[in-house]
Structures are given as C-alpha cells and as structure tokens.
Structure 1
Amino acid sequence: MNCFLPFFVMYFQTFRSKNLIAKMATAAKVKAFVEEYYRIPRDILILVFRFYKDSSKVSWLGEDGVMRNVTTMGAIYFHFLSLDAKKYDILSCYSQDSFDGGVLVLVIGCMTLKNDKTKMFKQSFFLAPQKEGFFVFNDVLMFFSDEETMNIHGGQTSDPLRTNLELISDQGIAMVPSLESNQEANWNNPKMSIIETSCYAVQNNAAYSSTVEDLDTSAFQGLNNLNRVDALEETSIFIKNLGKNTKVEELHEAFKRFGTIKPDGIYVKPAKEGRFFGFIEFESPISAQNAIQASFIKIRNRKIKIGERKRKN
C-alpha cells in the first residue's frame, strides 16, 4: 500500500493548489466588484443598478431608522434615485466564499450626505454567480456610530477613513487594488475619498417610502434590458453629435469618469453637413460598457450621444 502513498500525496497537493488558485481568482473578482461599485459616479444611476437583477433584494436603513426593502430593477432604480449620499470613503472590505459558488462581502466605510453630515455604514452583499462574474442577490446597509468603528479595529486611534481599500478574503490574502497614476493621490491622502460622487438630482423631495411604494408600473418600462451584466470584449465606443469646435481634451475630461482612456485613444472625424463623430478607446471593456450604458453626456450644453462601435467583419 505504501507504493500508492506518493500518488495520493501528489494528488492532494495538486487538488489543494487548484483550489487555492480558484479561491484567489474569486477574491480578485470581488475586489474588482467593490472597486467598480463604489467608484461609479452616483449621478449616472444606470451604471449603479446594473449590478442587480429583478431577483435582487435590497434592504437599506432610512433616515428615520426604518429598514426598507425593495426588489425588481424598477424599484431598485428609484431606490438609488432617492438617496442623499454625496460620496463614500471605504475603510475596509472582507469577503468569504459562500453557498453554491456565491460570495459574502462586508464593506465598512463612511457616507457623506448632501448636507455634509457623515455616517458610518456597514454594507453586506451576497454575490450570486452568473455566466460572467457575479450579480448582487442580497444588499443590506446599516449605519453605526464612530465608537463601533474603533472597536472593530481593536481600539486604534488613527483616522478610520483611510482610503487604501483592503480586500481580505477568507484565505487571509490582503489585496490592495492597483490604480492608474492619476488616481494614486486619492488613495495616499487620507483627506480625500477614493471616489467623489454626486447623487442624482431629485426634483421631487417626497419621502423615500412613497418614492418606492407608490410608483406606477409604467415607469419601469424599458428597464428590462438592464437585467444582465455582461463583460464586453470591445474597448471602444462610438460618439456623435460633436460640435465643430469640440476638442480632444474636452472629450478626455468628460469621458475619463468611465475609466482609463488609452493614449491617443480619442479620434474625431468630420461627417456630412458639417457634423462630427468620433471614437474613444478605453483600456478596459468594462469602461466602454459603462459609457455605452450612460447613453449620452453633455459638453458645453451639447448632448453627445454614445453607442457601441460596430466594426466591419
């Protein structure tokens, strides 16, 4: 029987290595999710709730201390529409493998409201697996006091709002996200947020509950195409309705919110009747998808339309 021992040892080591690699890959996906989720500008709501599906369940604690539950894409859309958050500072993030390939994620941070008041929050997600990565199946957010923050970190007296996001998985791997050079200052300066976002301007200041519960179902039409979060291979987008004097620098400044643009990745060409169109090439296909889902952007009060770039076969 001893002759089989080396085989079993080799098999066990191979299995353990493959299992570790799989877990590390999952941790990397969770890190990418957290970075994308909290970095997306909140004034572009369509990019936030694209992480959800009709089966998703969202439970957030309201200003009045009442936990409110919403589900379906339409209700989730108006949930984010009613938020009063201006920016988020992330303290730390923890993940753990869960049932049937899913991942449990806990995020601890600080939310700054439009009136400049701050609230510490804990947000937990259950990320359910799908063909391309994960989607948010459960989302629960609650607020807590600064004293609880100190207890979580063993009574440390340092600034709890440090901005070097750490993703700690159940394998004990601390992951610090890699950033583009123009973003490094935000992570190194504790007074700056990893994201600076503005909430969508709400014309109707009705109570949150009435916003979510008293909606007409017709308002949800046209949202069905948002039920999937597929990673696109295309890194370029098509833009049209450019002004004659639209500069490449203006386009770069306007579109960099969606992600890093490749060097010399902006092209502007003339069309018929003095109209102009162009292409913008990002480093990541996720950035291109973010821009496409925004559908348009304004530059000097001019509405620049965004679409997929269709390449000839």
Structure 2
Amino acid sequence: MDPAAQHSAKMAGDGFAEHYYKTLQNSPKLLPRYYKDVSKITRPGLDGTMRSSTLQDMIEDLDMLSSSDFDTVEVTSLMSQESHSGGILVVADGYFTSQERPARNFTQNFFLAPQEKGYFVLTDMFKFVDFSEANDAITEGAAICVKKLPPDATITLVEDAFKQFGEIRRGGVEVRHKRSFSYGFVEFKEESAAQAAIEASPVMFDWRSVYVEKKRPDYISYWETPSSGPGIIYRSEEMSVTKDPGNN
C-alpha cells in the first residue's frame, strides 16, 4: 500500500472521528449529516440484541449518549486505514460516563465511502463491551486487590503508589468507591510485580497504610452485593488517549 495514501487515509479517518464524537457530545441532533439514506447502521436494542437498518429507521438511535442515559463520551483508541474502492475503515474504542452509574466501554466501526466532497458513513456498527470481556486475557496472578483506600483515592494516586513494584498494564487500574469504604485493583504485566506488592503490604498510600492481597474472582461478587450500597467506579484508560473530543 502506498505510504502516502495510507497517511492520507489516517488523517481523514482520524479527523472524521474527532468531529463525529465532538458532535455526539455537543450537538447530537446533527449526527444524521454524517450519513445518507443508504447508510447501514447497527445498534444494540433494549434487550441487548443487535439490530441493523437504514438511516430512516435508526436516526433516533444515533445519539447513544441520551438513549443510554450517559453524560459524556471519551475516545481511548482510534485506528484508520485505507480500504476498498477508496473508502476508509475507522475503528474507535472508548467509554461513556455518567454521574449516576458506572462507565461503560464501547467499540464502534465505521466504513467511510467517498463522495464528491469528502466522505459519508456507509456502515456504522456500535457495540457495548463488558469490562470483564475486554480483559479476559489478563493473567490472574498478576492482579492485586488494594483494600482500605481513602475516599479521595484516584487512578493517578494508585498508579503512583504501585508502579514501584513493576510495570502496570495499560488500563490496569480500577478504583471503586462504595458507601462506606473504598478499594481498588491493580493489574501488572508480570506476576512477580504483583507478588512484590503483596509481600510489601501494608503499603504507604497518601500518608496512610493500605493493604494488598491477591485479586480473587469472588472479590467483586462479594463487594457488589446490594447491602454495600451505591458506588462509583473509576477505570484507567485501556489504550493511549486521544484528545477529548468534547473539549476541542
């Protein structure tokens, strides 16, 4: 493939995505302008079943923020490449956030077809991705649970406290704030790093001690019972972050 053409396709695809998600965040009613009547759009239904149709039938489903009761959209990974007949394939990963419930990851694939001036979305496939599904490949022995975190604990503070033990997997920090306590998970690239953190427990964290244990599958099911009350979940980004589409 011609490197110049590939570079041009990447610039066009990345530029499209930047404008698309800015529109989704700030002016969702304008989203149909990226499509044509022949566009094929796929979205999850209320029961989770994927359904596909043309723009006329799916126009109300383009605004995934409002239809799914989220507040903001963040793009964490973006890939664009030249495809068939001068088209461009764009793959975006990211997550929606809400003050009322945990963030939710998504992946969205676009095929941009050329037109007289620029491109339009010929196909658009959107899918929510469960956090557990996205992390099936994580080595269980490389993950730890950090107990008794302070209520103001953040992703950055946890990363700073535990990177001394080894390299942390990108997207491998999670902080959970429940009604009466806070805890977190850290996923290292190497099992030896997790073991070093466990052996160093208790670990100093923001001038207080936190306790480290091996992460077990039953932690989440135990702590997410209704008696633990409502909570907020923060996750570090899975891949290198692009500019926030909503703040440009």
Q: 1:107 to 1:52 in 2, by over 3 A?
A: same
| Counterpart residue identity of residue 83, structure 1 | S
Match of 1:301 in 2: none
Is residue 104–residue 129 contact of structure 2 (8 Å, CA) maintained in 1?
Answer: yes
Structure 1 residues 41 and 123, CA gap change in structure 2 (3 angstroms) = closer
Is the Cα–Cα contact under 8 Å of residues 102 and 127 in structure 1 kept in the other structure? yes
Comparing 90-99 and 154-163, the one that deviates more: 154-163
Tell me the C-alpha RMSD between the 2 structures: 2.9
Confirm or deny that 1:79 pairs with 2:61. yes
- Going from structure 1 to structure 2, the CA distance change for 1:95 and 1:40 (only over 3 Å counts) comes to same
Q: How does 1:51-200 map to 2 (within 5 A)?
A: 51-72=34-55, 74-80=56-62, 83-84=67-68, 85-113=70-98, 115-150=100-135, 156=170, 157-158=172-173, 159-160=236-237, 164-165=241-242, 187=243, 194-196=244-246
- The separation in 2 between residues aligned to 1:38 and 1:48, in whole angstroms, is 9
- Partners of 1:57 and 1:24 lie apart in 2 by 27
Task: Give the TM-score taking structure 2 as reference length.
Answer: 0.53
Greater per-residue strand proportion: 2
- Contact 1:70-1:79 at 8 Å conserved across structures: no
Q: Does 1:30 align with 2:2?
A: no
Deviation at 1:103, TM superposition (A): 1.5
Contact 2:19 2:245 in 1 (8 A): no
CA distance in 1, matches of 2:137, 2:27: 33
Contact 2:43 2:61 in 1 (8 A): no
2:61 is paired with a residue whose SS is helix
What is the distance in 1 between the residues matched to 2:137 and 2:130? 11
Q: Report what 2:196 is aligned to.
A: none
Q: Shift of the alpha carbon at 1:33?
A: 0.4
Q: Shift in Å at residue 36 of structure 1?
A: 0.3
Paired amino acid for 1:40? T
SS in 2 for 1:164: coil
| Counterparts of 2:138 and 2:39, CA distance in 1 | 31
The structure 1 segments of at least 4 consecutive aligned residues displaced by more than 4 Å after TM superposition are 151-155
Aligned-pair identity in percent equals: 28
Task: Classify 1:152/1:31 alpha carbon distance in 2 versus 1 (closer, same or farther; 3 Å).
Answer: farther
Taking structure 1 as reference, are residues 105 and 161 closer, same or farther at Cα in structure 2, changes over 3 Å only? same
- Structure 1 151/134 Cα, relative in aligned 2: closer, same or farther at 3 Å? farther
- Number of residue equivalences: 153
> Residue 120 of structure 1: CA displacement?
0.9
Higher radius of gyration, 1 or 2: 1
Q: Structure 2 regions of 5+ residues with no counterpart?
A: 140-168, 174-235
Q: Secondary structure at 2:67's aligned position in 1?
A: coil
Alignment of 1:216-255 (within 5 A): none
Deviation at 1:48, TM superposition (A): 1.4
- Which ranges in structure 1 are unaligned for 5 or more consecutive residues? 1-15, 166-186, 188-193, 197-256, 260-313
Q: Is the 8 A contact 1:87 1:111 kept in 2?
A: yes
Q: CA deviation at 1:152?
A: 7.7
Q: 1:89–1:161: 8 Å Cα contact kept in structure 2?
A: no
1:263 alignment counterpart: none
TM-score by length of 1: 0.43
Counterpart contact for 1:122–1:142, Cα < 8 Å? yes
- SS of the equivalent of 2:10 reads helix
